[in-house]
Amino acid sequence: MVFHTPTPGTLVLADGTCFEGKIIGSDQGYSGGELCFNTGMTGYQEMFTDPSYKGQLLVHNFVHLGNYGAYASDTESSQVQISGVIARNFSNKHSRLMADSSLAEYMVAQGVMGIEGIDTRALVRHIRRNGAMNAVIVSASAGEYRLELGTKALASLPTMSGLNLAPQVSTPTPYRLFPEPKEGPEAQTPLYRVAVMDYGVKRNMLQHLRHRGCELMVFPSYSSLEQILDYAPHGVMLSNGPGDPSAMNQEVQVVKALVERLPVFGICLGHQLLARAAGLETFKMHNGHRGSNHPVRNLRRNHSEITAQNHGFAVQMDALSDHPHVELTHVNLNDQTVEGIAWKDRPAFSVQYHPEANPGPHDSLYLFDDFVQSMAH
């Protein structure tokens, strides 16, 4: 078993605030990104590998981290995406019998740096008051003057506003996925062909479509309209992903053209791009929504859903009330932000949250069924 190093470390925030702790995982000297916090009690490995976290330091609200180890099937992409992890108590021991390794061993193997012993409650309260900001984890192994090194590293970090990160996490080439195998002579016969725009897609998102009999062609984020239409899809899914949707003008133009031709379903970043294709604006949130316990009201079905969320940008609410083509379908019950929209005259809709993450656990899976049904017409 790999035990985490007792090397001292410092978390240096962009506003000069510092927290002292101990380095965990891979000691790379330092690692930085935008601070964000997640309110979930479980699912840390899914969080680590979610491409939407690209370029971010992840703060865990729950006091314990690592007590059920790491398991290969609990990943949402091929590698860890976060820049680093921040925890209160880190466990080297795990009790999950099916785990492949401890979380410490997993972090070392994946080259992930973190820091424990941080008062995460105080840190989260600081972020909630002052907003999301960049920070750097600095190890004592990097040199005696950790604060100076952290400050220098902070100066080189880009801000999330205006940053297009999708090309960094998207597939470099298109690839095909067939429907989930089933018994019988029609096991491999696809019900529909779906073009998936990969802005940082999660594996479970693809699995839900395959489970419903869809063949998928997953396209790079920067693919042209012609490349997508050459596949002759019955519908298009716009995936989740990291970064600022306002920096993705080329992608928005492609989405706008797709809405005129095919049924479209957007999730998270895909939702924001669909909104911008309709002429709506997006904005950077004060500290974002991240966790598996966010209540959302479905205005069409008149019910509430417990949702999983991971986003730092959102769609402006103001222009929705009198928009000629788009209506509000879902709203966040915590802060009344936009959680879903739909075209009034086209089979196109989207949600800000993650229906594939099973937080309810099945409150929002109807969205995948709605998308499949939209391709039948």
Options 46, 76, 268, 294, the catalytic residue? 268
At residue 206, φ and ψ (nearest 5 deg) are -65, -40
Would you call 116 a catalytic residue per the annotation? no
Options 76, 251, 339, 356, the catalytic residue? 356
Instruction: Identify whether the C-beta of residue 89 lies closer than 8 Å to the C-beta of residue 116.
Output: yes
Beta-bridge mates of residue 204: none
Distance CA 91, CA 109 (A): 17
Cis ω before 361 (30° cut-off from 0): yes
Would you call 36 a catalytic residue per the annotation? no
Instruction: Identify whether the C-beta of residue 80 lies closer than 8 Å to the C-beta of residue 48.
Output: yes
Distance CA 366, CA 277 (A): 24
3-state secondary structure of 243: coil
Distance CA 52, CA 202 (A): 9
Would you call 268 a catalytic residue per the annotation? yes
HSE toward the beta carbon, residue 333, CA cutoff 13 A: 13
Active site amino acids: 268, 354, 356
